Amino acid sequence: HRFDRDGDGHIEAKELATVMRIMGMEPTSEQLHSLVESIDVDGNGKIELEEFANMMARQMLLRDGKVELEQAFKLFDADQSGYVTADEIRHYMTSAGGDEALTQAEC
């Protein structure tokens, strides 16, 4: 495996640190230790391929979900102010095919 530099079938903290640096991150020793603990489900101090794959899958889902949320927010934030107002919600809902008028309380 590409991240398992010593070929022992596990990703150790130092190998994980290398991966993170390749991805542009600079984890502290404390952050790295905490990350290994959160990934290392069986508690043996090493990250097996399955544990690593599960962590990567979770990260991809989080990233994809964040992208979808950002896209949805941009749809509502018509003036690109970084805030969504009741008027913007009302405008989007009616322009998106909603026939019913929304009250201030509904927004």
- pLDDT tens digits for 15-36? 888 888 887 888 888 988 888 8
Compute the average pLDDT of residues 30-44.
89
SS3 label, residue 43: coil
Domains in the chain (CATH in brackets) are 10-66 (1.10.238.10), 77-107 (no CATH)
Main-chain dihedrals φ then ψ at residue 67, nearest 5 degrees: -60, -45
- pLDDT tens digits for 90-101? 777 777 665 555
